[in-house]
Amino acid sequence: MARKILSIGMLALLFLGLLSTPLLAQEAGNAAEAAAAAGDAAGHQMFKQRFIEGSPQWMAPVLICLILGLAICIERIIYLNMATSNTDKLLSSVEDALKSGGSDAAKEVCRNTKGPVAGIFYQGLDRAHEGVDMVEKSVIAYGGVEVGRLERGLSWVGLFIALAPMLGFLGTVIGMIEAFDQIAQANNISPAIVAGGIKVALLTTVFGLITAIILQIFYNYLVSKIESLTGQMEEASIGLVDLLVKDKMARG
């Protein structure tokens, strides 16, 4: 009888443990989420405090550089990703269209395909009746136009990368001047006055450098993406010229 009661008690404890496990896991998850939210709030408050300490009149221009630079970078990333296409598949489709319907059918394929490569193909096919030399010139000329579209806005990002640290340094210099003015007015070289003035002055430099670093990372990614797309455009253009030469020879 005692063994039976002991077994029932152990089963009851095991059942309660199984019931409490999900509750404990949920409580642990809620605690982790609360800690993460508290960390985010603390980080936001610290950023706000540092921004105010660094003098908004000098921090605001740097923040504007960051916001505008990120906006341009995000727009360029979306544009470049949409401009990416499967050049091998497009070249194969153009070849099939040339064999079945001639240059008009091939141009229709390019017209229905997005991306700079399709635009270059269309311009080349539009001059196919004028000879291979004109096709090459047309492809090269329009390729330059497409590269210009890919690089649109990058000069502004480069400007913000250079401008943000300079604005930060300018704020630092002016902040140091104000700190020395405070020392002169107090007629006392107090460590508290010196440290406070230097801290406020250096915050603008730190924020400017952080802005430049963030934008530089995005800028390098965009340059790498544009170089990759430019290489694809050049290879595809060579493939189109070869394809037109073969088509011309096949037609006699």
Please state, in angstroms and rounded to a whole number, the distance separating the CA atoms of residues 82 and 197.
49
% of the chain beyond a pLDDT of 90:
26
Extract long-range pairs of 3-12: CB within 8 Å, 24+ residues apart: none
Lowest mean pLDDT among 7-11, 66-70, 195-199, 218-222: 7-11
Can you list the alpha helix ranges (DSSP code H) found in 84-112? Answer: 87-111
The residue among 197 and 91 whose pLDDT is bigger is: 91
The residue among 130 and 73 whose pLDDT is bigger is: 73
pLDDT confidence of residue 18: 43
DSSP codes of every residue in 198-240: HHHHHHHHHHHHHHHHHHHHHHHHHHHHHHHHHHHHHHHHHHH
pLDDT confidence of residue 8: 43
pTM over 0.85: no
pLDDT confidence of residue 223: 96
Please state, in angstroms and rounded to a whole number, the distance separating the CA atoms of residues 102 and 99.
6
Is residue 6's pLDDT more than 50?
Answer: no
Single-letter amino acid code for the residue at 235: E
pLDDT confidence of residue 242: 84
List Cα–Cα distances, 38 to 34, 43, 210, in angstroms: 6, 9, 24
Q: What's the rounded mean pLDDT across residues 174-196?
A: 72
pLDDT confidence of residue 43: 55
Query: Any idea of the CA torsion for 173, 176, 180, 183, to the nearest 10 degrees?
Result: 170
Is residue 144's pLDDT more than 80?
Answer: yes
* Confidence class for position 59, pLDDT limits 50, 70, 90: confident
Q: What's the rounded mean pLDDT across residues 119-129?
A: 85
Task: Report whether 121 contacts 176 (CB < 8 A).
Answer: no
Is residue 3's pLDDT more than 90?
Answer: no
Is residue 112's pLDDT more than 70?
Answer: yes
